[in-house]
């Protein structure tokens, strides 16, 4: 079984494209939905907690699918799914996450919180499911 990927980074706009590249390299396959979800969650940290906040991004793949976790040091700033108006420039990130995942949630710990999501498999932009990411 493939070991989980654990990335420790500072939440900055420059870190997001590199994180997306590392996710694709880790899976060795297109993973647009995973990259989208990870980008949205790290961007939420930047937006709500500020640039430079340390985060841990964890990806684990098994027979049940793919789990993404983004942990930050503020257990109080909880994400809220809301409906953005047509002319709103922000507020769609969690709606996108909700649309492309099976489920998502938040786990609060002492001095941190983890926003996680579970995907059936990895999908590229064409909605083709990439299987066989387990093992190697």
pLDDT given for residue 122 in this prediction: 60
What rounded mean pLDDT belongs to the chain?
Answer: 83
pLDDT given for residue 95 in this prediction: 81
pLDDT given for residue 120 in this prediction: 84
Strand-pair partners of 58: 6, 69
Q: Give every strand in the sheet of 103-109, ordered side by side.
A: 5-11, 53-62, 65-72, 112-119, 103-109
pLDDT given for residue 62 in this prediction: 82
Q: Mean pLDDT, to the nearest integer, of 8-23?
A: 96
Q: Which two tokens stand for residue 72?
A: 């930050």
pLDDT given for residue 87 in this prediction: 57
pLDDT, tens digit (0-9, with 9 covering 90-100), for 78-130: 776 666 555 555 555 678 888 889 999 999 999 999 999 999 866 444 444 44
Cβ–Cβ under 8 Å, residues 94 and 79: yes
Q: What is the CATH number of domain 5-130?
A: 3.30.565.10
Confidence of residue 6 (pLDDT cuts 50, 70, 90): very high
Cβ–Cβ under 8 Å, residues 102 and 66: no
pLDDT, tens digit (0-9, with 9 covering 90-100), for 29-85: 889 999 999 999 999 999 999 999 999 999 998 877 899 999 999 988 777 666 655
């Amino acid at each position: 079984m493939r070991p989980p990927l654990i990335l420790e980074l500072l939440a900055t706009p420059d870190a997001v494209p590199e994180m997306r590249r590392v996710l694709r390299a880790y899976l060795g396959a297109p993973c647009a939905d995973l990259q989208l979800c990870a980008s949205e969650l790290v961007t939420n940290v930047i937006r709500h907690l500020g640039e430079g906040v340390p985060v841990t991004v964890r990806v684990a793949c098994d027979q049940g699918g793919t789990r993404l976790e983004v942990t930050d040091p503020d257990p109080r700033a909880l994400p809220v799914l809301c409906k953005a108006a047509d002319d709103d420039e922000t507020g769609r990130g969690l709606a996108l996450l909700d649309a492309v995942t099976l489920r998502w949630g938040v786990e609060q710990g002492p001095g941190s919180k983890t926003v996680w999501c579970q995907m059936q498999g990895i999908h590229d932009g064409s909605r083709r499911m990439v299987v066989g990411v387990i093992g190697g």
